[in-house]
Amino acid sequence: MTVTDRLSSQPVAEVTGPSTATAGVVPSGVPDGLAEIEIIGVSKDYVTKRATTHALSDINLEIRKREFVSLIGRSGCGKTTLLRVMAGLVSPTSGEVKIGGKSLWKGNTVDSSVVSQLGVVFQDANLFPWYNILDNISLPQRLRGVSKAERHERARELAELVGLGGFETSYPRELSGGMRQRAAIARALACSPELLLMDEPFGALDAMTRERMNLEIQRIALATEATVVFVTHDISEAAFLGDRVVHLTPRPGRIQDITSVNLERPRQMKVQTEPEFARVVAGLRQALDAEE
């Protein structure tokens, strides 16, 4: 089965919210008891000669397989730091991160076998301008020694998945911002990661492109069955995409609250007119406003 076939065969997960699922509709939520990520007492301090900055304090969180979790909070609350700790890019000062039951960090060193399960997408697509889209997407597999024929076959499959079919021989400069982000997402999926980590990937896009990309990343997450952690400043985006929304406090970042979003998938933009969506957004906005 190819990755593009999986959406049609996506299993219907159990749901803890209203049981209003219809045929062909995937409810929000994922099976209980299948933790993909365990964050246990994670704190992070940045120490310089002048001062110590307490970025994160005692973060405890479990994220289940195939769950889509949004991280929100005011600027400087540690959202990106937490994501980078999960991505193996920044070591925690204390605490532990487990992915698939294995510790990501051993002191200040990452376990390469655990990192291989991750895909990361940043706000800047960071594509290599001298590579065409096919070669950009296939780069992770090239670095792992996968044959050219095999990695290009996978890259073409992923280009189709993210809506870039027909643009494989184009170069980044020839694509729009939204198309470059699609390529970055495809590249992150090249090695079939269990976990996709996204740091404000649509923050630089215009409103209409951002809406289209929200629909796309939801579709891709369902098709690939990846677990997704998504950092955003946009409350509506967090609620639209997330099975749960995790709210971090101002520095040092702590978990203020976790909000479940009981809306069926796949979600269309019209879900934003539903009372449940309005309730979630209002609650998140009230919690953020209370920090002022």
- Share above pLDDT 70 across residues of the chain, in percent, rounded to a whole number: 88
Of 232, 207, 216, nearest in space to 183 by CA: 216
pLDDT at 35 over 90: no
Under DSSP, the state recorded for 26 is B
| pLDDT at site 10 | 35
Task: Find the distance separating the first CA and the last CA of the chain, reported in whole Å.
Answer: 50
Topology of the domain covering 33-117+210-292:
Rossmann fold (3.40.50)
Contact yes or no for 111/93 (Cβ under 8 A): no
Contact yes or no for 141/191 (Cβ under 8 A): yes
Q: Would you place residue 49 in the very low, low, confident or very high pLDDT band (cuts 50, 70, 90)?
A: confident
pLDDT at 174 over 50: yes
Higher pLDDT, 2 or 175: 175
| pLDDT at site 28 | 53
Cis-peptide, bond into residue 266, ω within 30° of zero = yes
SS3 state at 194: coil
Domain(s) of CATH 3.40.50.300: residues in the chain: 33-117+210-292
| pLDDT at site 32 | 53
d(CA 239, CA 262): 10
What pTM was computed for the model? Answer: 0.85
d(CA 236, CA 220): 19
